[in-house]
């Protein structure tokens, strides 16, 4: 099955939110995904980062991948002892999910690759993300892209996460 990966816009918001809600309510792994609200996603469509979507052949949003250009408050770099300069040059691979009907097509990996291609490497030299330690699928996807586990922390209200880093 061929999927098209492109930057998301306002019209994609309902599809993104649907996938986010599905991931949030996954009965097998309720702690793996932290959903954001619609305003947060809207802010990242253009201003505070960007969002990619994978579009299925029939036109349905099959998955999304959100990149955040973080502010200093609650910066993941703090877990790694980043300097202020490093924090200024960090992008966060913030959130990703794939509709259950399209899982198994390598979409998270493909969207992560496409997202990295859009990041301005003259501005951002560090990429960070968090993944639940038991989420072997996301860990495998991000490790295959060159990310390494750098810390095991509690964040997002006391939830355990690995912080992964990739230096560009």
pLDDT tens, residue by residue, 62-109: 999 999 998 767 789 999 999 999 999 999 999 999 999 999 999 999
pLDDT on residue 27: 60
Q: How many CB atoms lie within 10 A of CB 80?
A: 17
- Could you tell me if 55 and 6 are in contact, meaning their C-beta atoms sit under 8 angstroms apart? yes
Measuring CA to CA, which residue among 43, 56, 42 is closest to residue 5?
56
Question: Considering the chain, what is the average pLDDT of its residues?
Answer: 92
At 93 the three-state DSSP class reads strand
Question: pTM of the prediction?
Answer: 0.91
Share of the chain above pLDDT 70, in %: 97
The CA dihedral of 61, 20, 10, 38, to the nearest 10 degrees, is 170
**Mean of the pLDDT values across residues 45-56?**
93
């Amino acid at each position: 099955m061929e999927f098209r990966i492109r930057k998301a816009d306002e019209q994609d918001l309902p599809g993104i939110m649907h996938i986010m809600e599905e991931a949030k309510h996954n009965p097998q792994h309720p702690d793996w995904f932290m959903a954001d609200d619609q305003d947060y996603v809207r802010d990242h469509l253009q201003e505070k980062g960007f969002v990619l979507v994978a579009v299925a052949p029939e036109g349905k949003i099959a998955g999304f991948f959100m990149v955040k250009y973080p502010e200093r408050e609650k910066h993941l770099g703090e877990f790694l002892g980043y300097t202020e300069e490093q924090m200024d040059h960090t992008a966060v691979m913030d959130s990703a999910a794939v509709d259950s009907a399209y899982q198994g097509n390598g979409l998270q990996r493909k969207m992560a690759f496409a997202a990295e291609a859009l990041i301005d490497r003259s501005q951002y030299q560090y990429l960070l993300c968090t993944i639940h330690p038991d989420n072997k699928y996301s860990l495998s996807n991000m490790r295959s892209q060159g990310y390494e586990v750098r810390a095991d922390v509690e964040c997002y209200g006391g939830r355990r996460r690995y912080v992964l880093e990739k230096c560009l």
